[in-house]
Structure formats: C-alpha cells, structure tokens
Amino acid sequence: MSHSYAIEEQVAVAAVRRACHLTSSVFNRLVKNETLTKGDKSPVTVGDYAAQAVISSILHHAFPGDPIVGEEDASDLRAEEGRVLKDRIIELANEALTAELGLGDSTTWGIGPGQEKSAEELLDAIDRGNHPGGREGRMWTIDPIDGTKGFLRGEQYAVCLSLIVDAKVQLGVIGCPNLPVDPSAPENGTGCIFTAVRGHGAQQLTLNGSNPTPLVIPQTTPETLNFLESVEAAHSSHSFNDRISSILNITRPSTRMDSQAKYCCLARGEGGAYLRMPTGVGYREKIWDHAPGQVLVEEAGGVVTDSRGEPLDFGLGRTLGENFGVIAAGKGAHSRVLAAVQEALNETKAKV
C-alpha cells in the first residue's frame, strides 16, 4: 500500500482553509493600491503575499525541514516603497493565522489558531518559497492565489498546495472559494476544497472541511465531451482549442475559467478535457500551476500529459521545462484528444 500522507494532508487542508478564509475576506476590502505589477507584467495582490505567508508558516511549523517552491517572494515588500503594502499583508496574515476556524485543538501541528507573528517572521515565511526545485527529496509547492486575474475580476481562482517527493506529486490540495459546491445547484453556495493522495483517491470537501465526496471522472461520449480552457487568451491558445473541437466534431462551446479550478471541474465531471497549448514561444509553465491539479485528476481516474503524450516532469526545477502544453482528460477522452492534437500539430508543420 502506498504512503497515506495522513498528517501532511491534514496540515495541507488546514493551511489551504486558512488561506481561503483570508483571500475571500480580503476580496471585498481590496483597494486600488493593494495590487502590484510584477517584472513579468502579471499582477500580485496583498492577498497573494499574505496567503503565501500563512501557508508557509503553517508548513514550517509542522515540517520544518521541508523545502518550499512558492510563486511569490518578498523582495518588493522589503523595499521602503513597499511599506504600506507590507503592513497590510502582515495584518491580513496574522488575522488568518489566529482566526478560530473550528479546526479543533490542533496545536501539535501548528494548524492553529496560533500566535501573531512579527513582520520579519512573515516576510521570511514568504521567502522560504525560494527553493529551486529538483529531482530528489520532499518539497512543497505553493500557489497562494492561482488565477490572480480571475480573483481580481471576482471570478474563479484557487489556493493551491502540493507535496512532491522525488519528482512525483504525492499530495494535492486545491481550495476554490468561488466554485459552486454542487454544479447542478449553483444557488446552494460556493466554496470547495479538493484533495488527492497518490494511490488513495480524490475527494471534494466543503470549505469548512465537511462532506467528503469521492471523485471519479465519468465516461464522456463524443456528444458530451467539451473543453475547459483559460479565460486569458495569453495563457493558452483558444484558436488551437477551436481547431481540436472541430477535428473531434465537438459542438459544445469551451468553458472558460481561470486557475486550477479547471482541473477540479474536470475531476468532478464538469467538462471532458482541459487543454492548455502555448500561445507563443518562451513561456515555461510553473510546477505550482499544475502539481496539485495533476494528482487530483489522476486520482479521479484521468490522465495528464503534454502534447507528445509524455507525463509532466516535476523534477526539472521551478518550471516544467520546454513547453509542450498540457492535456488533461478522463481515460477514454484523453487518447482521442491527444490524437487530435497531434493531427493538428502535424497539419501546422506540413504548412511551414
């Protein structure tokens, strides 16, 4: 029997719950100057920084020796111009670390409610996410807000955490505060957590940690297959997906959604395939954007590969290396989508 990672899962779910509490409460209070534009032109908010500080602090308490590959770093906050932003982040992180969320008496693993931390401790917690990644040993990935653009629009985003051991994702936890608990009754409320442990299945919980429901991707027929894709046209090629839809005679329009909520929806049978093909050359996909989603979909019975049909390699560092895109789908659908993708790629090559 494979390792159950029971303590890791408990700590990871608690950390994601605290971070989701933070991001959903900050959204309505977010003011104009609380968002920065990073060097790569992408946005980052006080919510991203504070959520990484919270998750990293909880992981450090429970597993002090484990390295972390986190999206954000605190260098902009340590500069004098970052003072106001920093003070706000410290306030938000401490609010989330000390909140009574009904996680029980969990002082042993530091899942709180804990003590307030100093600014220096919280900036250091953010910067502990600077691990370069690699092929050996245990490491966590944190994407404190995946789909920051969706978060800013009030649409989908996800708080994403994974544990990678010797380049294999063993545990994935994804919190989706804005995702309907029951897709067939969206009026019944939003807020879900998805968890998966390799060899032990995938499940959905409510945001307060209750109602565990096992997830299995249903069979799709040509009539029910459709694509999940990014909202942002710069993140994946919409026109390529249209081409694949037409090769496969798919008439249902693609469902556009930000973040790894796409992997979560796929895992619970909303949408038959997630296709993310590069829009140009040069961008390398980050491991924190795919690690928890990959184990979740695989444990729900699906398949995740690149456009060559190769598994994603989480042992290359902070990125997945040269970008061959991502195809995630249920078992039957995956081979059909992969064949169509390869056909479309060959057509393009033949034209050049």
Ligand X SMILES: Nc1ncnc2c1ncn2[C@@H]1O[C@H](COP(=O)(O)O)[C@@H](OP(=O)(O)O)[C@H]1O
List, by residue number, the catalytic residues: 48, 148
- Residue in 244, 207, 206 with CA at minimum distance from that of residue 227: 244
* Residue 279, phi then psi, degrees to nearest 5: -90, -15
Which of 60, 286, 290, 334 binds ligand X (CB under 6 A)? It is 286
Residue for token pair 């969206």: 186
C-alpha to C-alpha distances, 166 to 56, 67, 191, 313, 314, nearest whole angstrom: 20, 13, 32, 11, 9
d(CA 305, CA 299): 14
Which of 95, 124, 232, 343 binds ligand X (CB under 6 A)? It is 232
CB 167, CB 313: distance < 8 Å: yes
Of Mg ion, ligand X, none, which one does residue 235 interact with (CB within 5 to 8 Å by kind)?
ligand X
CB atoms within 10 A of CB 120: 10
C-alpha to C-alpha distances, 62 to 2, 57, 116, 256, nearest whole angstrom: 22, 9, 17, 37
- Residue in 63, 7, 52, 235 with CA at minimum distance from that of residue 159: 52
The answer to whether the annotation marks 105 as part of a ligand binding site is no
Minimum CB–partner distance for residue 152 and ligand X (Å): 10
Query: How many CA atoms, within 13 angstroms, populate the side-chain half-sphere of residue 256?
Result: 13
What part of residues 55-74 is at the interface with Mg ion (CB under 5 A)? 71
Identity of the residue numbered 146: D
* Ramachandran bin of 245, using left for φ above 0, alpha for ψ from -120 to 50, beta for the remaining angles: alpha
The answer to whether the annotation marks 182 as part of a ligand binding site is no
Nearer to ligand X, 148 or 220 (CB): 148
Tell me, residue by residue from 39 to 58, as one string, x for binding to ligand X by CB under 6 A and - for no binding: ---x----------------
Decide: is 270 part of the binding site for Mg ion (CB under 5 A).
no
Minimum CB–partner distance for residue 71 and Mg ion (Å): 5
Residue for token pair 């706000």: 88
Minimum CB–partner distance for residue 54 and ligand X (Å): 16
What part of residues 289-318 is at the interface with ligand X (CB under 6 A)? 289
158-165 and 138-146 strand pairing: antiparallel
Minimum CB–partner distance for residue 277 and ligand X (Å): 10
Nearer to Mg ion, 23 or 57 (CB): 23
Of Mg ion, ligand X, none, which one does residue 232 interact with (CB within 5 to 8 Å by kind)?
ligand X
Tell me, residue by residue from 129 to 148, as one string, x for binding to ligand X by CB under 6 A and - for no binding: --------------x--xxx
**DSSP codes, 79-110:** SGGGHHHHHHHHHHHHHHHH---S--S-GGGT
Range in contact with Mg ion (rule: CB under 5 A) among 138-146, 174-182, 192-200, 323-331: 138-146
Minimum CB–partner distance for residue 274 and ligand X (Å): 9
Nearer to Mg ion, 277 or 333 (CB): 277
Decide: is 60 part of the binding site for ligand X (CB under 6 A).
no
d(CA 194, CA 180): 13
Tell me, residue by residue from 164 to 203, as one string, x for binding to ligand X by CB under 6 A and - for no binding: ----------------------------------------
Residues that contact ligand X, how many (by CB under 6 A): 16
Nearer to ligand X, 67 or 70 (CB): 70
Length of the chain measured in residues: 352
- Which residue positions form the known binding site for Mg(2+)? 71, 143, 145-146, 289
| List of residues contacting Mg ion (CB under 5 A) | 42, 71, 143, 145-146, 148, 289
Residues that bind ligand X (CB under 6 A): 42, 71, 143, 146-148, 150, 230, 232, 234-235, 258-259, 283, 286, 289
